[in-house]
Amino acid sequence: MRTVPFAFAPIALVAALALSACNMNPSGSDQAGAAEEVRKASPTASPSDPLAAHDPAIGQPIDAALADDQPRPLMQAQVVLDRLGFTPGVVDGKEGLSTRNAVMGFQEAKGLTINGQLDEPTTQALAQWINIPATRVITIPAEFAAGNFAPLPVKPEAQAKLPALGYESVDEKLAERFHTTVETLQALNPRPAPATSPATGTRYFKAGDKVRVPNVGADTIDPAAVTDADWRNTLASLGVGSSQPKVDKIVVSKSKGTLKAYDGAGKLVGMFTATMGSERDPLPLGNWKVQGVARNPPFHYNPKLFWDVSDSKEKQLLPPGPNGPVGVAWIDINKPHYGIHGTPHPETIGRAESHGCVRLTNWDVARLAQMVKLGAQVKFEA
C-alpha cells in the first residue's frame, strides 16, 4: 500500500504524523478518541497475563503437566524460532516458504550453512530449547472473550462509521494471540461443529474453554517499558513481549520475500517473511531511512491512490484496529508513499501482492515497531 508524503519530527512525536492511502492520520483529538475505542474493545491486560507462557529454564525438564499431548517436531521448531525473532509467519506445523525463511534466518545468525532445512547442525543448535513444548493448554479468560465481535462491512464508507476495526470473533482474536490461524486451532481442538449466529457468524471458542494452542512465548510485557496503555494492550493481545533487540538496519529482499533486521554491530537479530510490491506498484529499490512509527493507527482511505478503485469514490477516515488496512503499526520511511505495516490477513503473507508497501503479520510488525529507531537504515533490494 501507499501513503502520501509527510514530515517527521523525532520518533517521540509520531502522534503528529499524517498518512494517506497506506495512510493514517493519528493526530489530535481523532487519535485520542480512536485509542479510547480500542481500549474499550479490548481491556488492557494485567502484568500477570493468564495467557502468557511459563517455561522451564534451559536444560530443565518439562513439567509433565505442561508436556505436549503428542510429538509435533515441526511446530516445536516454529515455536522456538518465533520466540527467537526468526518468525515462521503463522505457526501451523506445516512446511512452507515462511518456515524455510525462519530457518535460514536462524542459520545465518548462528553461522550455519544456510539452506532453510532443519538438518542435523540446525537441529543441534535448536536443541537447547527442546524442553519448550510445541503446544500448551490455556483457559480462555472472560475478559479476553468479551467484546463486540461482529463481521466487518466490506465498504470503506461503512467501516468509517465503526468505533474500531476489531476482531470479528473470539476465534480470530485467539489465533492472532498465538500467531496462528483459526484452522490450526480447530485442528488442535477437534470438536462438534459450532453454532452460527447472524450477529457474529460462527464461533468455535468461547470464554472458559480449555484450548490447546501453539506455545508461543517471549511475551512478557514490562509496564514500565511500555508507557502507552493502548500499545501495551495491543502487545498483550498479540503475544509480543516488550523486551526486543534494537535495530539499526533493515534489509528487504524482493526476490526472497524477507525482511531482515540487524543491530548496531551488524548482527542479524530478526527475520520475517514479508509481502512487498506488485507489477503495478513495485517495491522502490534503494536506500531509505526510518522516519517514525505510528502505533494503532487510523487509516486515510484515498481512492485516487489505488489503481484498482474508482476515483469517484469518496475519501474515508477508517478507525484503528487489528483488522484495519495497515494492521496495528506503520513504520514510515523517507520514500514518499511507502512504509512497513501490518495486515488483517496474516495467512496471505508471502503469497498475495501488496499495493507497494512492505506487509508483515500484525505480531511481526508489532515486534519490529519496538525494535527500530529513528534514522535506522532501510534497504530495498531486488
pLDDT tens digit sequence for 12-28: 333 333 343 344 333 23
**Beta bridge partner(s), residue 271:** 86, 260
pLDDT exceeds cutoff 90 at 279: no
Q: Judge whether 2 and 197 are in contact, CB under 8 Å.
A: no
More confident residue, 148 or 318: 318
Q: What is the mean pLDDT of residues 244-265?
A: 96
Q: For residues 372 and 47, what is the distance between their CA atoms, to the nearest angstrom?
A: 24
Q: For residues 77 and 311, what is the distance between their CA atoms, to the nearest angstrom?
A: 47
Per-residue pLDDT, 277: 67
pLDDT exceeds cutoff 80 at 151: yes
Q: Judge whether 354 and 340 are in contact, CB under 8 Å.
A: no
Q: For residues 236 and 344, what is the distance between their CA atoms, to the nearest angstrom?
A: 17
Which distant-in-sequence residues (6+ apart) come within 8 Å of 106 by Cβ?
81, 84, 86, 112, 122, 125, 126, 271
Q: For residues 207 and 146, what is the distance between their CA atoms, to the nearest angstrom?
A: 8
Q: For residues 316 and 168, what is the distance between their CA atoms, to the nearest angstrom?
A: 21
Express as a percent the part of the chain with pLDDT over 70: 80
**pLDDT band of 57, cuts 50, 70, 90:** confident
Helix (H) or strand (E) run with residue 167 in it: none
70-119 pLDDT, tens digit each: 999 999 999 999 999 999 999 999 999 999 999 999 999 999 999 999 99
In total, the chain counts a number of residues equal to 382
More confident residue, 191 or 366: 366
More confident residue, 9 or 217: 217
Q: For residues 359 and 365, what is the distance between their CA atoms, to the nearest angstrom?
A: 8
Q: What is the mean pLDDT of residues 343-371?
A: 86
Per-residue pLDDT, 43: 38
Q: What is the mean pLDDT of residues 42-50?
A: 57
Q: Looking up cell 485509542, which residue turns up?
A: 35
Q: For residues 57 and 77, what is the distance between their CA atoms, to the nearest angstrom?
A: 17
- How many Cβ atoms are within 10 Å of 196's Cβ, its own excluded? 9
Per-residue pLDDT, 13: 30
Helix (H) or strand (E) run with residue 369 in it: helix 362-371
Q: For residues 39 and 73, what is the distance between their CA atoms, to the nearest angstrom?
A: 38
Strands in 334-371 per DSSP E: 339-341, 358-359
Q: What is the mean pLDDT of residues 227-233?
A: 96
Per-residue pLDDT, 214: 98
Per-residue pLDDT, 29: 33
- The answer to pTM > 0.75 is yes
Lowest mean pLDDT among 18-27, 195-204, 217-226: 18-27
Per-residue pLDDT, 24: 37
